[in-house]
Structure 1
């Protein structure tokens, strides 16, 4: 901690007394401090530079023997930093002053504002000429006088310890670190709102992970290196990085489910019940209904005027050759008891609607020739076989597409499920980590604003500015 101070010191030197009447009424003198005796008051917990005052200003001598010396000094003291709640942290640094060579019997070190019977001073540092810091607020500056006995000596060695409690100003870190980190962490939730077919889910997760890595490097440069504790912001970044890493793993698993097919995977019954029947209702997901027109059965009708010259007895051999489940003149061609039109195919012509021969009178005879009967049977058999193949192909294709759509729907349900899970985890994790800082609940007003004349003057100018305009 670097501190710019004026070290106010007063002591009595019996050798520097005089009678003002003997010297023309002179009561005070300004003399170079190098020419008089000075107490060797040094900073015990000095971290760098000189332990004592280096700028030798003049001292003020009073005829009573009182000597006043106020040299300016720049101290760099050691201060143990606790970064557990960074950037919402409070630090307490101390400055220990004492004589380096004189014991308590020779130099009785006391605070100028110390009252008899008390070794504690609530306001140990004068803050009237203090310039406000842009990074820290001063909360308390008490001073305590101590007397310490060392093993080498019987004499006490007094010292004065100034405890300076500082609270970090969080605006800079909130705007430049916390808000961007929170925004980036919530982007990881939107990964599950991105459709799986877009192909950008994993890319978005990796981009978010790289952004958090950059913020982690910035944090490592700002805070002092320590292995005693993890800072609050570091905990939040670690939590967010774990969350994004899990989102990458979950996204890959969801993509694997989305692109499954009946060729590679078979959907288990519990998966169907859980992710298609149960969870969509809980997650407020409504699956679009299939088009009823595509499933409607179209029944082909044959006009009676075209069937007058032929009756069912003429094609009794067809019924005997094909089972009722395969061929039905009255109901048309069927496959497994379902008309071919149900498979989305155009109605096939029935045997009664086959083209007539050039001589219609021959066709309408009571007795058909065996050659014509054999020709008709062959054509009908071939038509039925082809229709069966087409119907089975369409049916298999529909089943294949339905299973694929079921897997895609399961992936969509998983996305929505993890969207809610990660949203709750992100909100609760952010609140639980950030709200741990005690300084967020401390409403104590900094004392530097209350006691600093410079701060008060600046505040008055700011208040008078708009009125003057």
Structure 2
């Protein structure tokens, strides 16, 4: 298809519909999308020498094997194989027009991957073209992701710390339990109160047993009093100091079963005391994690607010709404 431009009004090229000429069925072999057709069938440009140019717009999606040996300091190579779907190497030959690499002048940089190079080569007797796209992972994206995960792990680690393994240092208690709550206007959550036995004016009420009165002064010497927990009690010493008064309980010594019951009650009391201390120290660690989380929330709000204000005050057309209205009015006046 050639012609002399002198005989046709100096017309050197024409544009025809793609269905009027033969088009090679060049597709991406390692396609990951499933759609092998171009998105728009544009016209074909034909010059007077018989050369045809057909550049349809298309988006190609492919898959490649990722080597994670040196991640994140790695460089990946993805191969794109283009060729004819129906013609073999004896029926079609592919050639490079100018350069043997991908033109990256119109490439829009990515925020995750950086394209280093994209050389090409002819394979299978010039019936296919392979593009070796070399990409490199941007470390800034990886660092931001690592910081987010690291902060989350630190907060969870502090929240679930146990006093049996991690003892809270004095500076941590001073900083996070005294100073930081005051600075950030935080109040510690109140602990859940347990159902205690109601005691009022010598009257005790127990579920299922009704009410009864008691006398704190009539305390058996063999049973350690709650008021004397800090003093060591010795049963044999108490027995020698008992006054033989038949009108009081001191006259009647405790039986072996009662003494075993007293020991069991002391063991249960000590266990409950240790359990309360354990929960108290555990709640301290949880409160420290809450303080750190709130502090990071304030830092996030500060960075977000600072960035937003910086963008608003540096944008050239944010505070020019009145000038825009004046321009529209002037345009209407010119039109009328």
Higher share of residues assigned helix: 1
Q: Compute the TM-score of the two structures, normalised by the length of structure 2.
A: 0.44
Q: Structure with the greater relative contact order (CA < 8 A, sep ≥ 6): 1 or 2?
A: 1
